[in-house]
């Protein structure tokens, strides 16, 4: 699984990147054949409180999944995205099984 982290208009800390890697690797429990994960981090209007946007795109054979959240912290946004993507992957896997 190839994980790409793109931070727009700032540099993501090593700690944040390690956190993302750890969280994203857990998605393989839900679907084994994940080819690539693209994470984009963006700070929207720095003066706003809830200004950290994280988007995660997962590429699997014959499909892709996307989740994007805006929160106080990138960690919180990543957590919420991972939850949303877990649900998407479980649904997708069930559909595959039923074919």
Which helix H or strand E contains 15, and what residues bound it? helix 14-25
Higher-pLDDT residue of 67, 1:
67
- Crossing angle between the packed helical segments 14-25 and 74-98, to the nearest 10 degrees: 20
**Model pTM score:** 0.92
CA distance 44 to 74: 12
Q: 2-98 is classed in which CATH architecture?
A: 2-Layer Sandwich (3.30)
pLDDT tens sequence across 14-71: 999 999 999 999 999 999 899 999 999 999 877 778 999 999 999 999 899 999 999 9
Given a contact cutoff of 8 angstroms between Cβ atoms, the answer to whether 61 and 35 are in contact is yes
């Amino acid at each position: 699984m190839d994980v790409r982290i793109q931070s727009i208009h700032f540099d993501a800390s090593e700690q944040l990147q390690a956190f993302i890697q750890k969280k994203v690797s857990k998605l393989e429990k839900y679907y084994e054949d994940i080819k690539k994960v693209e994470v984009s981090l963006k700070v929207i209007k720095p003066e706003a409180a809830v200004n950290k946007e994280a988007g995660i795109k997962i590429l699997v054979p014959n499909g892709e999944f996307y989740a994007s959240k805006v929160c106080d912290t990138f960690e919180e946004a990543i957590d919420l995205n991972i939850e949303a993507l877990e649900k998407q992957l479980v649904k997708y896997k069930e559909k595959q099984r039923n074919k």
